[in-house]
Structure 1
């Protein structure tokens, strides 16, 4: 009987950590790999897809004159599919949790016109642009201040202008009269810092209240995005499925080796290797790659 060894999850995790290092991100390697990769998923979402976006502005949108130039520069980047990283918080490269983004998927960007001395970040501004990515579109909600991280007005503007963005998160509760308790924004902020997801209530055009879950699916106890945690879990599930596929195709692997006049090792050691822009299965002893998607 042929011995078979593989640990595709660790192979994949190590490749993701390598990618993070190549991007110049700063993080403690002593932290659990799953936690680091979840935060990396959040980082990638914050950077956007670096493709051209259709830009929409709310009816309430109002940018102070002194930040118009910075806003115009940013809009050009979004329109042309450029990199918005210089406009992000400096904490992004340290993979520090952005709790508003993790909770609501609402991103904040600075509106400076010029780069700081480091030439890495745009000069910081007090007022911030709050925006929301969805598919090919980016929705500019309005200009807000630091500490407006739980301001319910942010989501109310989204609903008033683009109800389709909020609709998937509305809870259907017959006879809904309001949340009890309905937390203040300060209380919401403290609960969010504690890793507690808070339901909200907004008003429709008739002034009727309705409840909704956070537009980013909320946060975990660690402060990570539930969306990113689910994405990570999905990736692990797919990788485990690939391991099962390898185990069920050992005869095919051996037949391929025979057809190539390669001696079959007494122990097969499979690795998940990133090659030619995708992950591939390689047998380490023979260095052969196998396409098992058949």
Structure 2
């Protein structure tokens, strides 16, 4: 539910779970909420089986439309959003999610939206985390390429064995490639282009 709808769940028990004392004992009813850095949006108390209930997003959309607005499909010069021919039922959403398929949904006011959680990957993990991981892998590969290029002249000159281990060190606003042992360091700040996640 978190990966698809962006909604957290909270157990309403008051005692520690006997099997997992670091957790609260599970309850049949759960508080579903959206948690942001500075805000907590309590949607309501629902049954433990309501993980795919479309009404959850309907409540969020009706109560806090600013939360769903970024996930609303909008008309463009090349496309007009007319609506969905079929709005999936709760059970259909459950089956699709279980298969790693994301379902568009249409709210009662006609707006069509994607899930606020960033989506579910085909292995049922977070699609948003998968995308961030892919970006991070590309950034690490770029960093490795930059370090190898920066130190290649030292390897060619015989100042550094080709199999040396190297650290990347951030010192204030300057980034260095530092071999081990640290006999010198190479400033790679201007060569390194890693955008923020």
TM-score (norm 1): 0.54
Paired with 2:57 and 2:103, the residues of 1 have a C-alpha distance of 13
1:252-271 correspondence runs (5 A): 254=154, 264-271=159-166
The partner residue of 1:293 within 175, 189, 197 is: 189
C-alpha distance 122-192 of structure 1, shift in aligned 2 (>3 A):
same
Paired with 1:216 and 1:109, the residues of 2 have a C-alpha distance of 17
Q: What is residue 195 of structure 2 aligned with on the other side? A: none
1:247 offset after TM fit, Å? 2.3
In structure 1, list runs of 5 or more residues that go unmatched: 1-99
The partner residue of 2:99 within 194, 203, 215 is: 194
C-alpha distance 274-146 of structure 1, shift in aligned 2 (>3 A):
farther
Q: What is residue 90 of structure 2 aligned with on the other side? A: 185
C-alpha distance 281-142 of structure 1, shift in aligned 2 (>3 A):
farther
Q: What is residue 140 of structure 1 aligned with on the other side? A: 42
C-alpha distance 272-155 of structure 1, shift in aligned 2 (>3 A):
farther
Count of residue pairs brought into register by the alignment = 180
1:132 offset after TM fit, Å? 1.3
In structure 2, list runs of 5 or more residues that go unmatched: 171-175, 191-197
SS at match of 1:102: helix
**Deviating runs (4+, > 6 A) in structure 1?**
none
Structure having the higher helix fraction is: 1
Q: What is residue 38 of structure 1 aligned with on the other side? A: none
> Contact between 1:270 and 1:281, CA under 8 Å: does it hold in 2?
no
C-alpha distance 241-164 of structure 1, shift in aligned 2 (>3 A):
same
Pairwise CA RMSD: 3.0
1:93-104 correspondence runs (5 A): 100-104=1-5
Paired with 1:126 and 1:228, the residues of 2 have a C-alpha distance of 29
Paired with 2:134 and 2:164, the residues of 1 have a C-alpha distance of 25
Q: What is residue 146 of structure 2 aligned with on the other side? A: 245
Name the structure, 1 or 2, with higher relative contact order (CA <8 Å, separation 6+).
1
TM-score (norm 2): 0.78
Q: What is residue 163 of structure 1 aligned with on the other side? A: 65
1:266 offset after TM fit, Å? 3.0
1:196 offset after TM fit, Å? 0.7
C-alpha distance 122-288 of structure 1, shift in aligned 2 (>3 A):
farther
1:144 offset after TM fit, Å? 1.1
